[in-house]
Structure 1
Amino acid sequence: MFTTAWTASPQPPSTGFTPNWSQEGFWRHSLRQVVRLTAGGDRVRIRLSNVYGTSPLRIAGATLARTTPVLGAAVQAGSVRRLTFDGASSAEIPARAEIVGDAAGLPVEAGESVTVTLHLDAVTGPATFHAQAFATSYRGAGDLLADTGGADFGEATESWYFLSGVDVSAGRTDGVALFGDSITDGFGSTPGANRRWSDALAARTGRPVLNAGIGGNLLLNDSAWYGEKGVHRLARDVLGQAGVNTLVVLLGLNDIGFSETDDQPTYRPAPRVDVGELIAGHRELIRQARARRIRVVGATLLPFGGSDHWGERAAKVSHELNDWIRRSGEYDAVADLHRALAGTGGSDALCALSDAYDFGDHLHPNDAGYQAMAEVVAEVL
């Protein structure tokens, strides 16, 4: 019996926030990606996604290895495992599809990082990816599946490609999925340090924690850069994961705030949504989760006074939504992140992030803010 120990929500190829390889794709490359697991087990399998591909994706080969404790593309000598797919060393993933690999024997522990290497010998076309990894992935020419030193991986990016999940033979059913936007994704945390609030929550609780955040994601509308809307992607990104019994929802701030800023050229026109529309979206997430017998925790939106998302109307709608999350009783539990991370002074609707928790844009927390979020959520799990 397997438990999902790591996920990255797939996105369509796009320019994104930082330089990436999603639109150009890969050809005669090896792609090396490092992920941190939140559960341990004796066997490991990977899941690969071509859900935004328009043609079949050929995987010429794949390996799994233990990550070295130092930075870079190196892996621990003697730990490399050749991966198979239905017994074969290569696989073809149809357009709009995902596959699950065979389990490989590699004992791992919660909190340990593993390295997945894919050899892509045929033209992939634009790549299904996850834009904001806050971790480094590597690319090199040719077949580098067995490489341990890492020196031939001469290019780097902070995105994940094709890799959408890692499962371990833990057999646990107490997994927690965090569903949200860039705050859940970890924007503002220290890159390469695993300081997202999903990382902090896993360390705090000892439970498998899955990060289903996408930077810029909206609850009610699709976006070229920011993925499918939350009410559509929940089934794939959360409800289909193994071992999840709790969902934490933190979503809606971009629906409110994008109409206040001129800095989001990829999401125009940005409609002005009212609190009734947002409540309907939250109710749909609750309905879908409960149909799978998953407990649902509602998290209040963080304060954002002074940010590019702020405006009097946005502040009003945010306050109304938070009031509904707190008082309606429709969620099984509430994590009041707004009050926990708010600075002193100002009304509930207008206050800003505490200086101690502000990454610097008055919208995203820093490492300390993400740790504080994890502490609040841990208390209601």
Structure 2
Amino acid sequence: MFTTSWSASPQLPSEGFTPNWSREGFWRQSLRQAVRLSAGGERLRIRLGHAYGSSPVRIAAASVGRTAPGGAVRPGTLTRLTFGGSPEAAVPERGELVSDDVPLAVAAGESLTVTLYFDAATGPATFHAQAFADAHRGPGDLTADPAGAGFDEVSASWYFLTAVETDAGRTDAVALLGDSITDGFGSTPGADRRWSDALAARTGRPVLNAGIGGNLLLHDSAWYGERGVARLRRDVLERPGVDTLVVLLGLNDIGFSETDEQPTYKPAPVVETAELIAGHREVLRQARAAGLRVAGCTLLPFAGSDHWGRHAAEVSRELNAWISGSGEYDAVVDLNRALADPADPDRLRPAYDFGDHLHPNDAGYEVMAEAVAAAVC
């Protein structure tokens, strides 16, 4: 039985938030990407997705291996990937391609490197904008080259890669549905210090990060992905091994309307508490229909940020009161209280503040993981 050990939620090709290769795509190039696994095993397989493609993407060659520094793969671990027995395959438009499983023993917490070679133009690439980890690109077929010297470009996004699964046989994975706070904005890049990483380390359970920076619960965004209620099935419910969902969404829904300074904060309708509660109830309905236990997290304090304003403050308090007191979630994690400044509960505690009064830093993410672990694990 295969269990999802790592995942990333796909996004529409865009360049509005961070520089990346999604719109230009790849041609006669190799792409090397490293991801941190949360469940080990003796065999593994990868999933490639092109949820926003208008035509198939040809994979001319692919490989996996244990990660080494600088875009390299540890010697002796590089393993060819096949798809239905063939070294070549196509990722279908608006679909996924699953590799054959390969014998490569990996441990929880270990980093795995996936290398893909595109001999034909991909066109715009389905991607995950904020990886907080380096992807490497180089000319020609480098899938059999364990060295990193041939990769001469670096990006901080993931492309086409949607999941890694291992034969761990686990059915206790925890999925996190959220926005940039779940995605890991504010954590140290390249250090795997997101709260999903910390939660996996604390609990020993597989943890799937289904966060997208800027994501909204109720509305689609050209820059920040499909709304949470629409992408839940693809990003969480269809992943093998998940039995618990943790929800932390809604802050962007109420905060985008408080500023006109960021052009990517669109759409930005003024959202009321009842609308957000209805969105949370739809997430609960879908998750429970799939047999999942669901935990709800209160929104973090955000006074002083560009999301703060009179209406956002009022709605956030009302939504947090519903999450905490309605009894509709199977468990509640009061992240607002856990990360609040005792001197001003509307603000993040300075020791946990990345600096924008909206996102935690590494220490704040550790506190989040501790609170979630105590409540749901």
**TM-score of the two chains, using structure 1 as the length reference:** 0.98
CA–CA distance in structure 1, aligned partners of residues 103 and 204 of structure 2: 23
Code of the aligned partner of 1:20: N
Residue 26 of structure 2 is aligned to residue 26 of structure 1: yes
CA–CA distance in structure 2, aligned partners of residues 256 and 217 of structure 1: 12
Specify the SS of the correspondent of 2:201: helix
Matches within 5 A, 1:154-303: 154-303=152-301
| Equivalent in the alignment of 2:67 | 67
Identity %: 70
Deviates more, 1:260-269 or 1:184-193: 260-269
CA–CA distance in structure 2, aligned partners of residues 52 and 106 of structure 1: 31
CA–CA distance in structure 2, aligned partners of residues 332 and 362 of structure 1: 29
CA–CA distance in structure 2, aligned partners of residues 256 and 264 of structure 1: 15
Deviation of the 1:379 alpha carbon: 0.5
Code of the aligned partner of 1:270: A
Specify the SS of the correspondent of 2:73: coil
Residue 58 of structure 2 is aligned to residue 58 of structure 1: yes
Q: Residue by residue, what CA displacement relative to the aligned partner does 1:59-78 show, whole Å, maximum 9, x if unpaired?
A: 0011000111x3x1111111
| Equivalent in the alignment of 2:316 | 318
Q: Residue by residue, what CA displacement relative to the aligned partner does 1:219-274 show, whole Å, maximum 9, x if unpaired?
A: 00000000000000000000011100000000000000000012331233410000
CA–CA distance in structure 2, aligned partners of residues 127 and 172 of structure 1: 31
> Quick check: 1:16–1:131 contact (8 Å CA) kept in 2?
no
Matches within 5 A, 1:130-141: 130-141=128-139
CA–CA distance in structure 2, aligned partners of residues 296 and 32 of structure 1: 35
**Pairing partner for 1:367 from 357, 362, 373:** 362
Specify the SS of the correspondent of 2:72: coil
> Quick check: 2:221–2:267 contact (8 Å CA) kept in 1?
no
| Equivalent in the alignment of 1:99 | 97
**Pairing partner for 1:128 from 107, 126, 142:** 126
CA–CA distance in structure 2, aligned partners of residues 22 and 143 of structure 1: 20
> Quick check: 2:32–2:114 contact (8 Å CA) kept in 1?
yes
> Quick check: 1:80–1:146 contact (8 Å CA) kept in 2?
yes
CA–CA distance in structure 1, aligned partners of residues 146 and 291 of structure 2: 43
> Quick check: 2:17–2:264 contact (8 Å CA) kept in 1?
no
Deviates more, 1:310-319 or 1:91-100: 91-100
Deviates more, 1:89-98 or 1:235-244: 89-98
> Quick check: 2:57–2:93 contact (8 Å CA) kept in 1?
yes
Specify the SS of the correspondent of 2:314: helix
| Equivalent in the alignment of 1:378 | 373
Deviation of the 1:97 alpha carbon: 1.0
Code of the aligned partner of 2:159: Y
Q: Residue by residue, what CA displacement relative to the aligned partner does 1:113-170 show, whole Å, maximum 9, x if unpaired?
A: 0100000110000000000000000000000001111101000000000000000000
Specify the SS of the correspondent of 1:92: strand
CA–CA distance in structure 1, aligned partners of residues 244 and 261 of structure 2: 35
CA–CA distance in structure 1, aligned partners of residues 91 and 101 of structure 2: 18
Deviation of the 1:12 alpha carbon: 0.5
**CA RMSD for the aligned pairs?**
0.8
**Pairing partner for 1:111 from 84, 109, 112:** 109
Specify the SS of the correspondent of 1:67: strand
Code of the aligned partner of 1:201: L
Deviation of the 1:352 alpha carbon: 0.3
> Quick check: 1:11–1:52 contact (8 Å CA) kept in 2?
yes
Please list every run of at least 4 consecutive aligned residues from structure 1 whose deviation after the TM superposition is greater than 6 angstroms: none
Deviation of the 1:17 alpha carbon: 2.2
Flag structure 2 segments of 5+ consecutive residues without an equivalent. Answer: none
> Quick check: 1:175–1:244 contact (8 Å CA) kept in 2?
yes
Code of the aligned partner of 2:57: L
Code of the aligned partner of 2:347: A
Code of the aligned partner of 1:359: F
Code of the aligned partner of 2:15: T
CA–CA distance in structure 1, aligned partners of residues 331 and 266 of structure 2: 35
Code of the aligned partner of 2:249: L
Matches within 5 A, 1:325-364: 325-346=323-344, 351-364=346-359
Q: Residue by residue, what CA displacement relative to the aligned partner does 1:86-109 show, whole Å, maximum 9, x if unpaired?
A: 111110122111111110100000
CA–CA distance in structure 1, aligned partners of residues 227 and 9 of structure 2: 12
CA–CA distance in structure 1, aligned partners of residues 215 and 19 of structure 2: 19
CA–CA distance in structure 1, aligned partners of residues 225 and 262 of structure 2: 14
CA–CA distance in structure 1, aligned partners of residues 266 and 367 of structure 2: 34
Code of the aligned partner of 2:265: Y
